[in-house]
Amino acid sequence: MSANNPDLVPSKAAELDIKSILLLDDDAALADTLKQLLESRNYVVTTAKNGVEGLREVMEMDFDVIVCDLLMPTMPGDMFYLAVQKVKPHLCKRFLFVTGHSEDVRLIDFLRKTDGLAVFKPVPTDELVQMISLVLKRNETN
């Protein structure tokens, strides 16, 4: 391999296998904290404050993981998921849902129907990172 020929030098992203995450949460402070945490773990993080913004991002790029709050204004997480299912169904197994409403029967039913992975607020840092790893592993075989 010659360092003089850029076509033969593997890209840094491929060498490091950097993963991209779309983070949807209407709580700007929480989203910023989670973004910093995930970037410190070498993820590339794009944020959106609702499903409408998230859908714009999904149309631009196929993210490796989509961390999605279920209750947001404009377009909540379950509606965002259904929109993604229509335009890019291959991304549906890349979702990790986040909610502070573990007792909401409608949301629990949605998670059950979609076989969705979820973490509950307040989200322990280690649990979030473990669940993101689980989503990535779940999609290695697909």
CATH number at residue 59: 3.40.50.2300
**First CA to last CA across the chain, in angstroms?**
32
pLDDT of residue 46: 98
pLDDT tens figures, 87-128: 999 999 999 999 887 788 888 899 999 988 999 888 888 999
Please tell me the predicted confidence (pLDDT) of residue 74. 87
Residue 55: inside a domain: yes
Please give the residue range of the domain that contains residue 106.
18-137
Q: Does 105 map to a domain? A: yes
pTM confidence score: 0.85
Domain count, the chain: 1
Q: Mark the ranges of the chain whose per-residue pLDDT is less than 70.
A: 1-16, 141-142
Give CA–CA dist 2/41, Å, rounded. 31
